[in-house]
């Protein structure tokens, strides 16, 4: 264990030493952005520019300061910052995902596609899923990037228990919008219904990656890990989902509590009650 700890510390120090000037600016700028309630262009530029000046002027290499003193150097650095900030800053990444979500989950700008979609939604509301599918197909034929139509078509197929077709259209949706929370969550449900628990987990973990505050990703991953008898990962995710549901005062809190209870009973039957307690303690869960 001491050797492992030493290696981790050593690698961390090496990464810090190898950081470029832009990486160091990005790290400080991200810390600045985390303190802001709203991030707009002015706030973003203020955080980056202030920390750019601080890091550059504090660098011992005179060549770095020389680079900063030219228009070309400043322009080049800003271009590099705009490239690396969305990749390295989790707070900014979350806002970027939400912004993209709002633009993608919207009505089609093609009138005929939007008209067909509205008709499909009406059929869907009346539970006439086959008719709804035909309308959604007409919508995506007229607008090949119409994510909402692909998602609702896939849901109709899932409600008709045609899981293969549902998965097909959720994948088409994700090709256009990989961050789509609706498609990621529901394709996970479809794979789980097909008893392909490993693939379901893959999509739920993508949902967690893009939306770390969304309990559905943790709940889905936890349920499927538990079905694979991977109790460690199953409970870790289920406990996380339960914490979020409880904090949000969600009605789904009862579902996560019930599923955790089912896992507990299963582990108890397998004489793994102590393991359950260990995993709970490790995840800061107090059992009463």
Q: What angle do CA 245, 212, 253 make, to 5 degrees?
A: 10
Do 187 and 257 have their domain in common? yes
Last residue of a domain, one of 40, 75, 104: 104
For residue 48, the model assigns a pLDDT of 82
Q: Which two tokens stand for residue 120?
A: 């499909």
Decide which of 117, 150, 177 is a domain's last residue. Answer: 177
R_g of the chain computed on alpha carbons: 24
Tally of domains in the chain: 3
Q: Which domain holds residue 112?
A: 107-177
Pairwise CA distance, residues 75 & 65, whole Å:
14
Better-scored residue on pLDDT, 213 or 126: 126
User: What's the CATH code of the domain at 132?
Assistant: 1.25.40.10
> In this structure, are 130 and 183 located in the same domain?
no
| Per-residue pLDDT tens over the stretch 112-165 | 999 999 999 999 999 999 999 999 999 999 999 999 999 999 999 999 999 999
Q: Which of 104, 137, 163 lies at the terminal end of a domain, its last residue?
A: 104
On whether the pTM is more than 0.85, the answer is no
Residues 236-251: tens digit of each pLDDT: 999 999 989 988 889 9
């Amino acid at each position: 264990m001491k050797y492992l700890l030493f290696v981790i510390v050593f690698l961390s120090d090496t990464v810090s030493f190898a950081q470029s000037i832009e990486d160091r600016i990005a790290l400080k700028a991200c810390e600045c952005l985390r303190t802001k309630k709203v991030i707009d262009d002015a706030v973003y530029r203020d955080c980056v520019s202030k920390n750019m000046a601080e890091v550059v002027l504090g660098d011992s290499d005179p060549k770095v300061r020389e680079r900063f003193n030219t228009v070309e150097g400043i322009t080049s650095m800003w271009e590099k910052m705009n490239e690396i900030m969305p990749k390295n800053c989790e707070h900014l990444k979350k806002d970027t995902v939400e912004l993209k979500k709002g633009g993608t989950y919207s009505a089609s700008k093609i009138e005929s596609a939007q008209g067909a979609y509205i008709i499909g939604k009406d059929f869907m509301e009346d539970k006439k899923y086959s008719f709804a599918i035909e309308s959604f197909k007409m919508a995506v034929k007229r607008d090949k990037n119409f994510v909402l139509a692909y998602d609702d078509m896939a849901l109709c197929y899932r409600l008709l228990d045609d899981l293969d077709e549902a998965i097909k259209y959720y994948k088409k949706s994700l090709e256009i919008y990989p961050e789509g929370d609706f498609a990621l969550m529901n394709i996970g449900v479809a794979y789980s219904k097909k008893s392909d628990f490993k693939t379901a987990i893959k999509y739920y973990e993508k949902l967690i990656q893009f939306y770390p505050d969304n309990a559905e990703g943790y709940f889905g991953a936890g349920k499927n890990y538990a079905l694979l008898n991977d109790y460690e990962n199953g409970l870790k995710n289920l406990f996380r989902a339960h914490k979020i549901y409880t904090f949000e005062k969600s009605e789904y809190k009862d579902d996560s509590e019930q599923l955790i209870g089912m896992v507990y009973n299963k582990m108890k039957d397998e004489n793994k009650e102590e393991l359950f307690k260990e995993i709970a303690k490790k995840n800061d869960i107090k059992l009463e």
